[in-house]
Amino acid sequence: MQIPWSIFLYLTIFHLIYIPPRLTVFAGDVKPRTVIVVDQSGHGHFSKLQHAIDSVPEHNYKWIEIQVRAGVYREKVEIPSNKPYISLVGDDRDTTVIQWWDGGGSATPEYATFSVYADNFVARHITFKNSFHPVTISQAPAASIFGDKVAFYDCGFIGVQDTLTDFLGRHLFDGCYIEGYIDFIWGYGQSIYHGCTINVTSGPYNDRIYGAGYITAQGRESIEDTNGFVFKYCKVVGNSYAYLGRPYQTYSRVVFYKNYLSDIVVPQGWNPAFIFGHRGSAAHEEVDCVGPGSDKSQRVKWGRNLNTDELNSLLNPNTFINQDHWIENQPPPTKRRALHKFLTSKTTTRSTTMPEFRQRRTPLSRSFPFVHPRRG
């Protein structure tokens, strides 16, 4: 087909003068990537994060980095399931904050300020916050994660009840800060929390009325489900008392491995409120923890002990969440981010990569060793 000269000329000139701002191909240190900048002061491609996400093509299959400059973004943000391979990079988790307020009824995960429905997602240096504070404490997640192969590095999650809705899929939370009071790390997720700070605080609510809070509420429903929560080298602090958890479903699995537990952890450790008649099958394990809250002499006697094989398999990221090496294959931030971090270096140690993962990058395998729990 012949293209008329006038149209050809028009297209050529148009493309010479019109360089779409949001699709800047950036040659990163690993592979070419698209970088989208979100900046409230108007120096980026978008001033709202959701608009940047909307601009990602559906069924995206190449990593796209969205850099979110410092600012409090008052938005409810969603990464839909047809937009995988997004890497979200804030300036600093103290200064790049996504904040909304929603909650109250029974549709808990949907109230989240930030929801990830897509597989293959990574976020760094961003805080997600839900500031919904009705008269009585209600479900109000800061983030809900439904996707598989999702990692958060040096991120913050701030809320009161159900703060981090770790709903479904294999996840890594590395060097994160998680603040809440009631069931504030909960869901059917298959996750490792590595080097995180867990801060129990009742926010605007009076903890003398509400009593001790609950850090975890893990929802493994059957013996075949592969999910569970593993906390390695985390620090549990706060200014309200809390149970380490209350198993949310019969076969709940939670492991605290070499954590620092401050004196806010109640001596009983665990609460059976959700599984009262089935206390034998929930596994809650504390291995080599330290600190005044780690004394196990008054811990509850119910619950199933993990055998050595099951425990080792949960503790090893490569057998529990990273069987197909998706973690090594997520992109690090682009050089621009590294330069910024270098210039504003605060000698922080909180942004880390688990030593196990500082390795070669292997091709993705097709295995999917993750069994969806059934939900009634």
Ligand X SMILES: *[C@@H]1O[C@H](CO)[C@@H](O)[C@H](O)[C@H]1NC(C)=O
3-state SS class at 161? strand
Q: Which H/E stretch holds residue 71?
A: strand 71-74
The CB-of-211 to ligand X minimum distance in angstroms stands at: 18
Of 227-266, which residues contact ligand X (CB under 6 A)? 237, 239
Of 317-346, which residues contact ligand X (CB under 6 A)? none
Any catalytic annotation for residue 102? no
Nearest-CB residue for ligand X: 199
Any catalytic annotation for residue 288? no
Please report whether residue 226 would count as binding ligand X according to CB under 6 A.
Answer: no
**E-strand stretches of 141-189:** 143-145, 150-153, 156-158, 164-165, 170-174, 177-180, 185-187
Measuring CA to CA, which residue among 143, 184, 188 is closest to residue 169?
188
Catalytic hit among 148, 162, 166, 174: 162
Number of Cβ within 10 Å of residue 17's Cβ equals 7
Residue 199 or 252 with smaller CB distance to ligand X = 199
Of 129-158, which residues contact ligand X (CB under 6 A)? none
Residue 94 or 224 with smaller CB distance to ligand X = 94
Number of Cβ within 10 Å of residue 220's Cβ equals 26
Please state, in angstroms and rounded to a whole number, the distance separating the CA atoms of residues 229 and 198.
14
Of 160-219, which residues contact ligand X (CB under 6 A)? 179, 197, 199, 201
The CB-of-346 to ligand X minimum distance in angstroms stands at: 15
The CB-of-308 to ligand X minimum distance in angstroms stands at: 34
Instruction: Determine what percent of the chain falls in helix, strand and coil, rounding each to the nearest 5.
Output: 15, 30, 55
Q: What is the DSSP letter of 305?
A: P
The CB-of-182 to ligand X minimum distance in angstroms stands at: 15
List phi, psi (to 5°) of 363: -65, 150
Residue 230 or 264 with smaller CB distance to ligand X = 264
Binding site for ligand X (CB under 6 A): 179, 197, 199, 201, 237, 239
Give catalytic residue positions: 162, 183
